[in-house]
Amino acid sequence: MLMKADPTPLAPAADEGTPVSVKIRERLLAARQRFHANDNIADYIEPGEMEALLDEVEQKMQGVLDSMVIDTASDHNTANTARRVAKMYVNEVFKGRYSRGPSITEFPNAEHLNELMIVGPITVRSACSHHFCPVIGKLWIGVMPNEHTNVIGLSKYARLADWVMGRPQIQEEAVVQLADLIMEKTQPDGLALVMEASHYCMAWRGVKDMDSKMINSVMRGVFLKDPALRREFLALIPKRNGY
Ligand SMILES: Nc1nc2c(ncn2[C@@H]2O[C@H](COP(=O)(O)OP(=O)(O)OP(=O)(O)O)[C@@H](O)[C@H]2O)c(=O)[nH]1
């Protein structure tokens, strides 16, 4: 009786064993795309790779704990810390690096509105690129709509802010990135942003100053050209409170 031969085993894929972070990095380099801490790299991640990335970060984080001489094998509190920290970075606090931006519903500006609109305070949560310590603060956004362009739903400003702040940032660059994004999405006649935040790298560690905050602003379009409009926006922002 003729026996059917075993099928030839498939040759291992050329990139088998290559860490997923290396594959993503190679794509970014081939596309000459920047991948600084506050850049979004979602376009270079293929379906299914986020799970592998999470596993890789967990493994490396376990190495950090080992090097810190923490006995994660018998310490019940740190047994799963490597996994928890990996999930926190990749799926939560730095999700804005790995996920695509929020979808933005646009509504026709039927009444051709072109009056100042302010939204805030929006709570922003980020982490500094230098120490990965939390940056927690408030953000106010002033928009001078263009009577001919569409308007976006109010909640979308907070969603866009969450996406940009969900990356290791420095505050000056974070507000500029957010301003560029809102300008691109809504094309208003003017845009004003003010952000005030506590930097825990200054409070929890380092200089250990609990009270100082960083405040910065970005003005675009008519807010740059019209000092009266700029004053109106700043006067309408409610007095900032501690948080
Ligand atoms: N400009 C700016 N600086 C920031 C921001 N977040 C944190 N920093 C600062 O970045 C600096 C990093 O400084 P380094 O001197 O390299 O780090 P370090 O030796 O740990 O500094 P110390 O915090 O002074 O202990 C610190 O002065 C932080 O306060 C930010 O959003 N913008």
Closest of 50, 40, 43 to residue 164, by C-alpha: 40
This prediction has a pTM of 0.90
Confidence band for 8, pLDDT divided at 50, 70 and 90: low
Confidence band for 101, pLDDT divided at 50, 70 and 90: very high
Say how far apart CA 208 and CA 20 lie, in whole Å. Answer: 38
Instruction: Determine what percent of the chain is predicted with pLDDT higher than 90.
Output: 83
| 224 and 127 within one domain | yes
Which of the listed residues 72, 98, 124 is the one where a domain comes to its end? 98
* pLDDT for position 112: 84
- How many other CB atoms are found less than 10 A from the CB of residue 96? 22
Confidence band for 108, pLDDT divided at 50, 70 and 90: confident
Q: What is the pLDDT of residues 35-78, one digit of tens each?
A: 999 999 999 999 999 999 999 999 999 999 999 999 999 999 99
User: Is the distance from CB of 41 to CB of 97 less than 8 angstroms?
Assistant: yes
Residue 9 lies in a domain: no
| 231 and 122 within one domain | yes
Look over the chain and give the mean of its residue pLDDT values, rounded to a whole number: 92
Which of the listed residues 54, 82, 98 is the one where a domain comes to its end? 98
**Residue whose CA is closest, atom 12 of ligand 1?**
130
**Residue whose CA is closest, atom 14 of ligand 1?**
130
β-bridge mates for residue 193, sequence order? 141, 218
Which of the listed residues 46, 64, 98 is the one where a domain comes to its end? 98
For ligand 1, pick from 201, 207, 208, 209 the residue to mutate: most ligand atoms within 8 Å of CB: 201
Q: What is the pLDDT of residues 121-165, one digit of tens each?
A: 999 999 999 999 999 999 999 999 998 888 899 999 999 999 999
CATH code: domain of residue 33: 1.10.286.10
| 228 and 170 within one domain | yes
Residue 7 lies in a domain: no
The complex scores an ipTM of 0.85
| 110 and 220 within one domain | yes
Q: What is the pLDDT of residues 180-191, one digit of tens each?
A: 999 999 999 999
Q: What is the pLDDT of residues 215-243, one digit of tens each?
A: 999 999 999 999 999 999 999 998 765 44
| 149 and 70 within one domain | no
Cα(36) to centroid(ligand 1), Å: 17
Confidence band for 12, pLDDT divided at 50, 70 and 90: low
Q: Show the domain range for 70.
A: 20-98
* pLDDT for position 6: 54
| 59 and 161 within one domain | no
- The number of domains in the chain is 2
| 116 and 42 within one domain | no
DSSP-derived 3-state class of residue 58? helix
